[in-house]
Structure 1
Amino acid sequence: MGNTARTTNLTIRLCEVSIIPGLQKEEREAVEKRSGRVLTALKKLGKADEAQDFPRARAPVIAVLGSGGGLRAHIACLGVLSELKTLGLLDAVTYLSGVSGSTWALSSFYTKDGNTEEIEAELKHRFNQKEWDAKHSLEKTIEAGGLENYSLTDFWAYMVVSKQTRELQDFCLSGMTKHVEEGTLPYPIFAAIDGDLHRDHKKDKAQNTWFEFTLHHAGYPALGAYIPTARFGSKFMEGRLVRSEPERDLSFLKVTIAEELLDLVTVYVEDPNAPSILKKLQVLQQKLEAGRRGEDEVSENALVWLAEMVQNWNKVSPEERGKFLERLVQSIVKLEEHSGLSSHPRLFSKGAMSKILDTCKVLVKTVVCCSKWEWGTMNNFLYKHGDIKEKEMRNRKLLHLVDAGFAINSPYPLVLLPARNVQLILSFDFSAGDPFETIRSTANYCHDHKIPFPLVEEAKLKEWSRAPESCYILKGENGPVVMHFPLFNTDTCEGGIRKWRETYSTFKLADSYSLKLVTQLLSLSKKNVRKNEEKLLSEIRSVASDRLERIFNSIIQQKSFQELKMVE
């Protein structure tokens, strides 16, 4: 026991924040392994035969990006990955990165070890059977509710996103390293935004706002500041781990009143102004009235508050609504605790009591977070770190990470890091609005930070957005080549783009997705890739040729230099 304690303390002391410019060691080694796989794929695709003559040759670095777009992005991104794999193009890719709905697809891809056939089959089955394991989702929410830094992100992940995707992914990133480290699968990068920094509109384009998760590390690329992914959420001070917390999973990545409360808060979190909230309050009022306990002061107070709020719901502020829901849940918890000390019958069966109390506690936390609009709460691993110059980064005890869709809606800033040396970006845009907004925003971001990126005139972007085609190739003097693929386009959308956008709106709920709609969307996203196979092959071969030519020239220059030295 003593040895174990000493080992644990030693581990804590040795776990420090890494301030390293460039790639982390684990990523560098995984990308090196992936390089061999990419060269093999290029050879099959009809290029890079010369690579065997250059033992020092490295493959070109190709990144696939998926935009946000909710459930639409989730399904469409799976279709893209599936078709890239079918065409043999996925093996030529080094990085996969996404935001929002695309990260849901990437999570499925890595939890299933890249088996796109199995992922598709399960996806179709879930939506055909209208399956959602509400019990398991609630259990995960309650479990998260016991954490010190519970936030709306937990509730959204387990109770909203899991219902939308019909899937609850309780795997951890750090537990899925095998195939990535062996080079079998591309290296994944999940994007988030530092919400505290992003709130200031002047810093919307600041590099520090971008946060990334990989299988190995989590942190701020602009600062080169990272911790092991398995330690994300743990407490650090002055760059050292002081308290370990369990790693968060990928989702963060039947009692009537409990159901009513849960349903009520779920709707409130999704939309505090939803018209259905008042009706749900009225139903809850009726059920509490039916179970009232005479002169019980606690139950009487709950009913008085509820009656007042039902009457004035549309007149009070969102903050007052949040505070009321918090008080309501607390009163129901007290009601049950009071019943245990009196002769009054419980609202709930004795066996369900502990589950209900746990559920109510989570609801209380959720309502509090909702009133504060608090998302992605985590311990700041840079707290009081001496090597971080920015006061704003080192003085906060907590971080609040939010969906990167609030920024550029595509993870360009993460793959454009010089250390990653990406030569070709395959950008798949699943947004329902202007499919070139991500290009426009990225170009502005890169201009502000002097990052090489193809220049595109605003007039061109506006012209393209009126009737988008399925593929655009953007090239500049420096930086990567960008191939941009709008999901809804004139080449593949039979019946018109507007019809498709209306059918697959961002706020379309999972319950309205039939198997037919899921299958149609998968087919459309695959068709977009398949239609542009030759363009993809051409650009992949081109960057491969450029890469090998540079290596060849470098070898010739070194050889000439050595010969010159010998003559001297």
Structure 2
Amino acid sequence: MLKQWLFQQLPTTLLKKRRELLLARSSHTFYFASQQYLERTGNIYTICSKPPLLGSVMRRSPDLSVSLFPQTAKPYNSASTSDCYLILWLPTASSLQFRTKTVQNSKDPVWNETFHFMVQRRVKNMLELSVYDEDICQDEHLFTVRFDIARLPLNEKVLMYFNSDPKVCINSNNIGHQDAIDVPMFLPLCGYSSQTGLDVRLGYDLCRQEQDFLCKRKNIVAGSRMIPLCLSLLLYVFQVPVLAIMTTGGSTRSLTALYGSLRGLQKLNLLDCATYITGLSGTTWTMANLYKDAYWSKKDLNEQINEVKRHVTKSKLDCFSMERLKYYNRQLNQRKQEGQKTSSIDLWGLLIEYLLNDGKDNHKLSDQQEAVNEAQNPLPIYTAINVKKKYSTMDFKEWVEFTPYEVGILKYGAFVRTEDFGSEFFMGRLMKRLPETRICYMQGSNNNCCLFNRKNKQQLCRNTVYHHEEPHLPTRPHEQKTYLYTPAGPLSSAFRDVLTDRLSVAQYHNYMKGLQMDNNYLENDKFYTVLDSSSPNQLTPSEDYLSLVDTGFFINTSSAPLLRQERKVDVILHLNYSSGSQTMYYAEQGISFPKAVVNEDDKHLKECYLFEDKDNLEAPLLLFFPQVNDTFRYYKAPGVKRSESEMKDGEVDISSDYSTYSMTFSMEEYDRLVELSEYNILNNQQLILQTLNMAVERKKLLKK
């Protein structure tokens, strides 16, 4: 009561300058878009009579420290003790204010609490430290210190003073001369050039696990039995070509054909030479099945091929039985309770689980680390694209890659551990860990094009009408294209919404949520697929969820991860059905890729084509394998002709018998497609050897 009565008698100015003995400690972490971090620890020692605040600031690479300390001063003894707490606020980082605990009845309160903030570099950041005295009726605001964190220099030592208000002289109620209240603080700072403390990896370099994999895999490739066949002498490690197997989609057709291609590569001992294998759509089903076995490439593939044949040829009616429907309902409810969003794609993933397995498949993508930790198999890379609502796939798309180690969007260079994908993140930190998604759900998102494909309609129905104008003068760096904009009317907008609404979208929590990615991103030469997103307001970090669809919605290839400069792929075995559109896309994006143009005069496609860019040695060599039935109709094996009775086995009609929408094949259809795919690989052994030899010679030239 005495304390309350006493301060009722004091002028307002004096109340603001009441002197107490305080001790505070707080720590703050600041994140910048340039991938720098500042960690700040502060102590408020005393509020005393005439103590000048002297500060020392010193930045040592990679540490930055700021020390502020008072000169000798005598603390003021008030009529009663205070119940103080501290409020910290960084308005540019968060609208929330953070409060310490209240230290009751103490002139020497010690909080020893830690707070973390992340701020944007391009705005003025003022850190506010406010001290309050907790009272029954209303808490009293004692003072506030504001500090501009931009004032902290690098590699210099400076002195700083913090003064609260100018000196005043008040005589009231026998309270004598009152002087300025100085707030001494101790603020050591540490600066980091890496993402220490972040749960999202920012940068375009390969993760440490993949780099370790590459070192081990190069030794395996150099010692494989295939290399001596194509080269007359042993290779140094830096001369070992990086061979990648790139596949395309096509539902059950691509699932089946990939098994045949891999068996052909295994017979040529080329599986031991491959470093990567990428997939989308149906080929991800094959990859997911293979990598359940940690040593699948070292074993005979016939066992796996026969097991898959049993599932491909079985009746699919049981997937809609009452028992299965109840199972789907239980699994979707469980996924929802775990904190994930559910959609029709999750149901599609459960259907795939039944189509390819006898029961529940608990396999997760991170489990495949066991199959690559010793580099005993090629590293699998699964692909999808991220889209946006109300945008057609042609207007907005972003490549997403999945490996057993990481999941990331190539454009931003932002990656997260595979185990953490789907969990809740904010500003690069893991806020809530959710159980890792089972791989069957990811198979659903990687292969939903055949479930619901509106690609052509989306291209026709856009929110605006665009007319490209060809510039008469050379374009300026990063200049955006010019469009004639015609706003859509209500009828056309409604019509477009119906046609572009994607039922086949799998949504996951956006691990980039809250990160600032639009700071000079066009000037970053590592920023991938610039032309796909030329407007900062379209960038994904502003979204709550990632919306993933099958890559086949846009382009039927899984080559984007292989064209990252950090992977340095030398040869791509392109197991595809057509060319043209993807090479045009790469040319628009400025990605090094050979022009794959098939001569229109050829009445029949050949089994294999070799494409190279002679003007660009950094562009990979491309071995293009279209799925065609050329010499297979006459030969059952390379150099072995069919007999009259065997001619029927060579009749494989790819265009009619193996539709993308066919989920069931007969045993004969399955066997013939596997044999055709295997034959096309075996029959082009010499061209493959020639290409590997060319790759080694190109690496020698680049080394010079």
| Fold agreement, TM-score > 0.5 | yes
2:575 aligned with 1:386: no
What one-letter code is carried by the residue in structure 1 that aligns with 2:674? Answer: L
2:206 aligned with 1:23: yes
Contact 1:70 1:100 in 2 (8 A): yes
Within 2, Cα distance between the matches of 1:117 and 1:133? 27
Q: Which residue of 2 aligns with 1:377?
A: 507
Q: Aligned to 1:508, which of 655, 662, 665?
A: 662
What one-letter code is carried by the residue in structure 2 that aligns with 1:152? Answer: S
RMSD: 3.2
Spell out the pairing of 1:447-462 with structure 2 (5 A cutoff): 447-457=587-597, 460=598, 462=600
Q: Which residue of 1 aligns with 2:345?
A: 153
2:414 aligned with 1:225: yes
Q: Which residue of 2 aligns with 1:176?
A: 368
- Helix, strand or coil at the partner of 2:671: helix
Q: Which has the higher helix share?
A: 1
What are the superposed Cα offsets for residues 278-327 of structure 1, whole Å, 9 maximum, x if unpaired? xxxxxxxxxxxxxxxxxxxxxxxxxxxxxxxxxxxxxxxxx9xxxxxxxx
Within 2, Cα distance between the matches of 1:29 and 1:523? 36
What are the superposed Cα offsets for residues 55-76 of structure 1, whole Å, 9 maximum, x if unpaired? x535211110110001000010
2:673 aligned with 1:521: yes
Q: Which runs of 5+ in 1 are unaligned?
A: 1-12, 254-265, 273-318, 320-369, 555-568
TM-score in terms of structure 1 length: 0.66
Contact 2:226 2:273 in 1 (8 A): no
Q: State the Cα distance separating 1:126 from its structure 2 match.
A: 3.0
Q: State the Cα distance separating 1:202 from its structure 2 match.
A: 5.2
Within 1, Cα distance between the matches of 2:251 and 2:312? 16
Q: State the Cα distance separating 1:422 from its structure 2 match.
A: 0.8
What one-letter code is carried by the residue in structure 1 that aligns with 2:267? Answer: T
- Helix, strand or coil at the partner of 2:238: coil
Within 2, Cα distance between the matches of 1:240 and 1:246? 17
Within 1, Cα distance between the matches of 2:683 and 2:663? 29
Q: State the Cα distance separating 1:212 from its structure 2 match.
A: 0.5
What are the superposed Cα offsets for residues 207-257 of structure 1, whole Å, 9 maximum, x if unpaired? xx100000100011121110001100001011111011111122122xxxx
Within 2, Cα distance between the matches of 1:533 and 1:25? 34
**Structure 1 35/388 Cα, relative in aligned 2: closer, same or farther at 3 Å?**
farther
2:162 aligned with 1:162: no
Q: Which residue of 2 aligns with 1:75?
A: 256
What one-letter code is carried by the residue in structure 1 that aligns with 2:410? Answer: P
2:613 aligned with 1:476: yes
What are the superposed Cα offsets for residues 482-537 of structure 1, whole Å, 9 maximum, x if unpaired? 11111123232567988332111111232xx2222211111111111111122112
Q: Which residue of 2 aligns with 1:350?
A: none
2:287 aligned with 1:106: yes
Within 1, Cα distance between the matches of 2:698 and 2:225? 13
- Helix, strand or coil at the partner of 1:454: coil
- Helix, strand or coil at the partner of 1:94: strand
**Structure 1 125/497 Cα, relative in aligned 2: closer, same or farther at 3 Å?**
closer
Q: Which residue of 2 aligns with 1:215?
A: 404
Q: State the Cα distance separating 1:546 from its structure 2 match.
A: 3.3
Contact 1:236 1:382 in 2 (8 A): yes
**Structure 1 58/172 Cα, relative in aligned 2: closer, same or farther at 3 Å?**
farther
Aligned pair count reads 415
Contact 1:19 1:224 in 2 (8 A): yes
- Helix, strand or coil at the partner of 2:431: strand
What are the superposed Cα offsets for residues 94-128 of structure 1, whole Å, 9 maximum, x if unpaired? 11001101111111111123242331121133345
What one-letter code is carried by the residue in structure 1 that aligns with 2:653? Answer: K
What one-letter code is carried by the residue in structure 2 that aligns with 1:154? Answer: D
What one-letter code is carried by the residue in structure 1 that aligns with 2:582? Answer: T
Within 2, Cα distance between the matches of 1:535 and 1:396? 47
What are the superposed Cα offsets for residues 421-461 of structure 1, whole Å, 9 maximum, x if unpaired? 111110011x4xxx22xxx122112211212222245xx45
2:388 aligned with 1:196: yes
2:552 aligned with 1:405: yes
Within 1, Cα distance between the matches of 2:453 and 2:392? 23
Q: State the Cα distance separating 1:140 from its structure 2 match.
A: 3.9
Q: Which residue of 1 aligns with 2:90?
A: none
Contact 1:71 1:164 in 2 (8 A): no
Q: Which residue of 2 aligns with 1:143?
A: 334
Q: State the Cα distance separating 1:16 from its structure 2 match.
A: 1.3
What one-letter code is carried by the residue in structure 2 that aligns with 1:68? Answer: G
What are the superposed Cα offsets for residues 317-359 of structure 1, whole Å, 9 maximum, x if unpaired? xx9xxxxxxxxxxxxxxxxxxxxxxxxxxxxxxxxxxxxxxxx
What one-letter code is carried by the residue in structure 1 that aligns with 2:556? Answer: N
Q: Which residue of 2 aligns with 1:285?
A: none
Q: State the Cα distance separating 1:386 from its structure 2 match.
A: 2.9
Q: Which residue of 1 aligns with 2:305?
A: 120
**Structure 1 425/371 Cα, relative in aligned 2: closer, same or farther at 3 Å?**
closer
**Structure 1 16/127 Cα, relative in aligned 2: closer, same or farther at 3 Å?**
closer
Q: Aligned to 2:270, which of 65, 89, 96?
A: 89
**Structure 1 238/270 Cα, relative in aligned 2: closer, same or farther at 3 Å?**
closer
What one-letter code is carried by the residue in structure 2 that aligns with 1:475? Answer: E
Q: Which residue of 1 aligns with 2:428?
A: 239
Within 2, Cα distance between the matches of 1:96 and 1:271? 26
- Helix, strand or coil at the partner of 1:178: helix
Within 1, Cα distance between the matches of 2:552 and 2:239? 33
Q: Which residue of 2 aligns with 1:287?
A: none
Contact 1:67 1:102 in 2 (8 A): yes
Q: State the Cα distance separating 1:474 from its structure 2 match.
A: 0.7
Q: State the Cα distance separating 1:130 from its structure 2 match.
A: 4.4
Within 2, Cα distance between the matches of 1:270 and 1:405? 11
Q: State the Cα distance separating 1:132 from its structure 2 match.
A: 8.5
Within 2, Cα distance between the matches of 1:90 and 1:442? 25
What one-letter code is carried by the residue in structure 1 that aligns with 2:207? Answer: Q
Contact 2:380 2:404 in 1 (8 A): yes
Q: Which has the higher strand share?
A: 2
Q: Which residue of 1 aligns with 2:693?
A: 541
Within 2, Cα distance between the matches of 1:126 and 1:66? 21
- Helix, strand or coil at the partner of 1:252: helix
Spell out the pairing of 1:257-406 with structure 2 (5 A cutoff): 373=503, 375-387=505-517, 389=519, 390-391=536-537, 392-406=539-553
Within 2, Cα distance between the matches of 1:410 and 1:180? 23
Deviates further, 223-232 or 497-506: 497-506
Within 1, Cα distance between the matches of 2:651 and 2:660? 15
TM-score in terms of structure 2 length: 0.54
- Helix, strand or coil at the partner of 1:211: strand
What are the superposed Cα offsets for residues 346-376 of structure 1, whole Å, 9 maximum, x if unpaired? xxxxxxxxxxxxxxxxxxxxxxxx9862511
Q: Which residue of 2 aligns with 1:426?
A: 573
**Structure 1 162/488 Cα, relative in aligned 2: closer, same or farther at 3 Å?**
farther
Q: Aligned to 2:628, which of 481, 488, 496?
A: 488
Within 1, Cα distance between the matches of 2:260 and 2:346? 27
What one-letter code is carried by the residue in structure 1 that aligns with 2:289? Answer: S
Q: Aligned to 1:249, which of 428, 432, 438?
A: 438
Contact 2:230 2:689 in 1 (8 A): no
Q: State the Cα distance separating 1:271 from its structure 2 match.
A: 9.7
Contact 2:293 2:371 in 1 (8 A): no
What are the superposed Cα offsets for residues 249-280 of structure 1, whole Å, 9 maximum, x if unpaired? 22122xxxxxxxxxxxx9x97699xxxxxxxx
Contact 2:404 2:418 in 1 (8 A): yes
Within 1, Cα distance between the matches of 2:232 and 2:697? 10
